[in-house]
A and B are shown apart, each in its own frame.
Chain A
Amino acid sequence: MKAICKIFPYLFRKPKKGFFRLLPCLPLSLLASLMIFPVLMMIANSFMDTQELLEAYGRILGDKGSEIVPRLLPRYPTLRPYVELLLDSPDFFVMFWNSCRQVFPILLGQLLLGMPAAWAFARYEFPGRRPLFLVYTILMVMPFQVTMVSSYLVLNRLSLMDTHMAIWLPGIFSTFPVFIMEKFFRAIPESLMEAARVDGANALQLFWYMGIPLGAPGVMSSLLLNFLEYWNAMEAPMTFLKTKALLPLSLYLPEITTDQVSVSFAASVVMMLPAVLGFLWGQDYLQQGIVASGLKE
């Protein structure tokens, strides 16, 4: 290290204001464009009509044509793919609705169970708190493959395989939301609690009137992170569902895009839309949630 300092002393001087501070912007901008390029291209191409789509990508998507002719923007932008998706693809809507039916009950259940649990971990000292929280943390980081057999055994015994319940139950009892919300509840200053207690608030009132409003960003973060996770879920539906009519969009979309080339881009865009809107609306919550998912106390 010291050697490097000696060889390149100019690297270690304070940079001139302006130009050098802006230097990183160039590579960063390039890289950032690379990150969002796939999505931009999908959106742009979703306005191509069938004819143009087959001309451009028929070789790969439909086994027609001789060569692909990549195109950033459609020559004649049209909403026809979306109309076709709306009118001619009943399957798509069944799957979209399945995704909703599988995601939102999980989020609700996570809130109902997770908020009180997180509050208990964050604001009370009780025997068993540390080991229990450690168990929750370990469960949080376990990949799906670890819990796959055990979930299957229990779902099978309750004859819940191949129902929406098979997706809901493991999702609702995920310990991830508890872990996230605990961090936010813990950050509420004790002096506020003390003040409310002096005013005669009981434990339940503290949780309801102080905890939930003040910890709302944590609740939002947990909701958003879990929404993105379950909207994208594949492993659980793939393992626990058999009936095609129950599959969520995340598993069915690849099939639509191969069978119905004309709507492949439009269907993809509609699927990413809720996630993108959630991201744009809640980017701050998302970032706070990611920081909270860091394992340090």
Chain B
Amino acid sequence: MKKQIKTPYLLLLPSLLGTSVFVLAPFLDVIRRSFFQAVGGGFVGLSNYRQVLENEAFQQALFHTLQFLFTCLPLLLLLSFLLAVLVYHLPFARPLFEAAFLFPMAIPVASVVVFWRLTFHNEGLLNKALSFLGFTGQDWMNTPAAFWVLIFSYIWKNLGYDMILWIAGLSQIPKEQYEAAAVSGAGPLRCFFFITLPQMKGSMAMIGVLSFVNAFRVFREAYLIAGDYPHNSIYMLQHLFNNWFTKLDIQKMTAAAVMLALVISLLLLGLELWTEKQEDV
């Protein structure tokens, strides 16, 4: 019996040790440092946090990040859900469509940068196509339109991932429910609104959190297409962190990292608690 208790700890040990030394302990150190001066090491209380929050670049970057999140998350969730419903109920060729929509996820960002550059350049493919259709294009990367370019490339990359998660949720609804509804004369839309939608709440919360977290990776596209200092409308927290890092502004970085970690942990804990409550009902 004693051996039984020891085994899991032994199995866990290497991973736990590494994670503690390289991730957890340094992060605790970061929390400690966020209350101290970087040079001199005096205790400064919350002054680092105040400095970050009052920093104008931070406020702007935060605003753009939130703007990005509040635009792309609803769009992505809605679009991928519609897609999942359509693909899930296809009578055939489902794997083919799943593969096509998932494909962009596998493509390294750097290897399609040439294509994005050609497309969104002031004299690029998109403007060509637009003028062919009789519209006037614009300089996509150097105007506020850059924001939409980023939204587009984020959705392009994540649509399939979210769709697969939705389909997994959809496939957990027992088929009998649809059959029973069909017997009592309900059409597909009624089934959708009264059977499918109510049971998708859990999936929605979970996919929302994952998409939120994945949204931080959009920095790759932004960086490769537009560099360190892109158009103001897509200058986001990730750029700011990066530029602080280049200046080795440890004081601001520690405080900002702690705040970001706090927000994300709370979000995840909220999801966890909410899911548990749903299951109890």
B8 CB within 8 Å of chain A:
yes
Interface of chain A residues 93 through 148 with chain B (CB within 8 A): 112-114, 116-117, 119-121, 123-124, 126, 129, 132, 134-139, 141-148
| Residue in A22, A42, A148 whose CB lies within 8 Å of B253 | A148
Tell me, rounded to whole Å, the shortest Cβ–Cβ distance linking A211 to chain B. Answer: 10
| Residue in A141, A235, A268 whose CB lies within 8 Å of B111 | A268
Tell me, rounded to whole Å, the shortest Cβ–Cβ distance linking B164 to chain A. Answer: 5
Interface of chain A residues 161 through 195 with chain B (CB within 8 A): 169-170, 172-173, 175, 178
A68 CB within 8 Å of chain B:
yes
Interface of chain B residues 200 through 217 with chain A (CB within 8 A): 202-203, 206-207, 209-210, 213, 216-217
A287 CB within 8 Å of chain B:
yes
A11 near B187 (CB under 8 angstroms)? Answer: yes
B18 near A113 (CB under 8 angstroms)? Answer: yes
B63 CB within 8 Å of chain A:
no
A249 near B264 (CB under 8 angstroms)? Answer: no
Q: Which residues of B contact A231 (CB under 8 A)?
A: 108
On whether A61 and B114 interact (CB within 8 A), knowing A32-B101, A145-B238, the answer reads yes
A59 to B127, CA, bound (A): 14
A13 to B124, CA, bound (A): 47
Label chain B's interface by main secondary structure.
helix
Binary CB contact string for chain B from 112 to 156 against chain A (1 if under 8 A, 0 otherwise): 111111100101110010000000000000000000000000001
Tell me, rounded to whole Å, the shortest Cβ–Cβ distance linking B73 to chain A. Answer: 15
Q: Which residues of B contact A275 (CB under 8 A)?
A: 106-108, 111
B102 near A283 (CB under 8 angstroms)? Answer: yes
Tell me, rounded to whole Å, the shortest Cβ–Cβ distance linking B248 to chain A. Answer: 9
Tell me, rounded to whole Å, the shortest Cβ–Cβ distance linking A192 to chain B. Answer: 18
Q: Which residue of A lies closest to B212 (CB)?
A: A141
A79 CB within 8 Å of chain B:
no
Q: Which residue of B lies closest to A42 (CB)?
A: B115
Which stretch (B43-51, B52-60, B83-91) binds chain A?
B83-91
A149 near B125 (CB under 8 angstroms)? Answer: no
Label chain A's interface by main secondary structure.
helix
B26 near A153 (CB under 8 angstroms)? Answer: yes
Q: Which residue of A lies closest to B153 (CB)?
A: A38
Tell me, rounded to whole Å, the shortest Cβ–Cβ distance linking A63 to chain B. Answer: 11
On whether A147 and B23 interact (CB within 8 A), knowing A124-B7, A231-B108, the answer reads yes
User: What class of interface size applies to chain A in its complex with B?
Assistant: 35 or more
Q: Which residue of A lies closest to B162 (CB)?
A: A290
A114 to B18, CA, bound (A): 11
A286 CB within 8 Å of chain B:
yes
B128 near A70 (CB under 8 angstroms)? Answer: yes
Q: Which residues of B contact A113 (CB under 8 A)?
A: 14-15, 18
| Residue in B87, B101, B220, B264 whose CB lies within 8 Å of A142 | B264
A15 near B26 (CB under 8 angstroms)? Answer: no
Tell me, rounded to whole Å, the shortest Cβ–Cβ distance linking A99 to chain B. Answer: 9
B114 near A268 (CB under 8 angstroms)? Answer: yes
B72 CB within 8 Å of chain A:
no
| Residue in A119, A138, A239 whose CB lies within 8 Å of B11 | A119
A250 near B108 (CB under 8 angstroms)? Answer: yes
User: Which of A12, A144, A151 counts the most chain B CB atoms within 10 A?
Assistant: A12
A295 near B108 (CB under 8 angstroms)? Answer: no
Binary CB contact string for chain A from 238 to 273 against chain B (1 if under 8 A, 0 otherwise): 110000000001110110010000001100110110
Q: Which residues of B contact A238 (CB under 8 A)?
A: 223, 242
A28 CB within 8 Å of chain B:
yes
B261 CB within 8 Å of chain A:
yes
B8 near A126 (CB under 8 angstroms)? Answer: yes
B188 near A253 (CB under 8 angstroms)? Answer: no
The 3 lowest CB-CB distance pairs between A and B, nearest first, are: A143-B216, A12-B187, A150-B26
B contact set with A: CB distance below 8 Å? 3-5, 7-9, 11-12, 14-16, 18-19, 21-27, 29-30, 83, 86-87, 89-91, 93, 95, 97-118, 121, 123-125, 128, 156, 159-161, 164-165, 168, 182, 185-190, 193, 202-203, 206-207, 209-210, 213, 216-217, 219-220, 223-224, 237-238, 241-242, 245, 250, 253-254, 257, 260-261, 264-265, 268, 271-272, 275
Interface CB pairs A-B, < 8 A, 19: A21-B89, A21-B91, A25-B90, A38-B115, A38-B116, A41-B115, A42-B114, A60-B117, A61-B114, A120-B9, A124-B4, A126-B8, A129-B8, A147-B257, A149-B250, A153-B26, A254-B224, A279-B103, A294-B203
A contact set with B: CB distance below 8 Å? 1, 5, 11-15, 21-22, 24-25, 27-28, 31-33, 35-36, 38-39, 41-42, 57, 59-61, 67-68, 70, 112-114, 116-117, 119-121, 123-124, 126, 129, 132, 134-139, 141-154, 169-170, 172-173, 175, 178, 203, 207, 228, 231-232, 234-235, 238-239, 249-251, 253-254, 257, 264-265, 268-269, 271-272, 275-276, 278-279, 283, 286-287, 290-291, 293-296
